[in-house]
Chains A and B, each alone.
Chain A
Amino acid sequence: DGGITQSPKYLFRKEGQNVTLSCEQNLNHDAMYWYRQDPGQGLRLIYYSQIVNDFQKGDIAEGYSVSREKKESFPLTVTSAQKNPTAFYLCASSPGLDGNEQFFGPGTRLTVL
């Protein structure tokens, strides 16, 4: 059963802590993406990766970091430098490098206490 999985579904963090969100895909897609979704706003691109061991900053990369050590995995770390981290985080992948058909995971809701 192919798809994208994200874990955990809900995450609570204290201020000043780093936290890592997991994203795994078994679709054999080359490209992977991380988005942030806030109420009333469109999806905003945090980071994207076209290939293993390579990734690029999106529009709102400050306070976030990623790695792409395996084709299937693209974890996102929300660091303490991120000023307003409470949001819904979505991971996506696309079969090609042009990104026009993206498939999304179920999302992780991060709340900073």
Chain B
Amino acid sequence: QKEVEQDPGPLSVPEGAIVSLNCTYSNSAFQYFMWYRQYSRKGPELLMYTYSSGNKEDGRFTAQVDKSSKYISLFIRDSQPSDSATYLCALFKTGGFKTIFGAGTRLFVKA
């Protein structure tokens, strides 16, 4: 079983839609949860960073962590064509040093 599972998509939505991106993981020891955005042929950039369970909001982006279900989500409100990218979830456990990355979900927002 992979440590983290992420639907590769592609996910295609109209401009203005609410987007939900998700990852599931198997190891309950993960404590830090990140979302990265990666444009084509570029390096990933850190979007959201959360510790433990709960919600974190930053502008149009909301990251949600449910540790009991081992499920993390990224919501994008009022999606824009500029949000078209691949979104990678990433998990980290204290003392483990290595960050585990999902394979990424490719998102297309149509104007």
Contact = CB atoms under 8 A, between A and B. Distances in A.
Contacts of A100: 32, 34, 49, 92, 99
Interface in A1-21: 4, 6
Given A99-B99, A100-B32, 6 more contacts: A42-B102, A90-B43, A97-B97, A98-B94, A104-B44, A109-B41
Most chain B CB inside 10 Å of its own CB: which residue of A4, A43, A45, A58: A43
Contacts of B88: 42-43
B8 interface: yes
Interface residues of B, number: 24
Interface of B: 4, 6, 8, 32, 34, 36, 41-46, 49, 88, 92, 94, 97-104
A45 B98 contact: yes
Report the contact-size class of chain A (Cβ under 8 Å from the partner).
20 to 34
A106 B46 CA distance: 13
Interface of A: 4, 6, 40-43, 45, 48, 58-59, 88, 90, 92, 97-107, 109
Contacts of A92: 43
A42 B100 contact: yes
A107 B79 CA distance: 27
A88 B41 CA distance: 8
A103 B97 contact: no
Contacts of A58: 98
B101 A43 contact: yes
A102 B46 contact: yes
Most buried by A among B6, B94, B98, B99: B99
B49 A105 contact: no
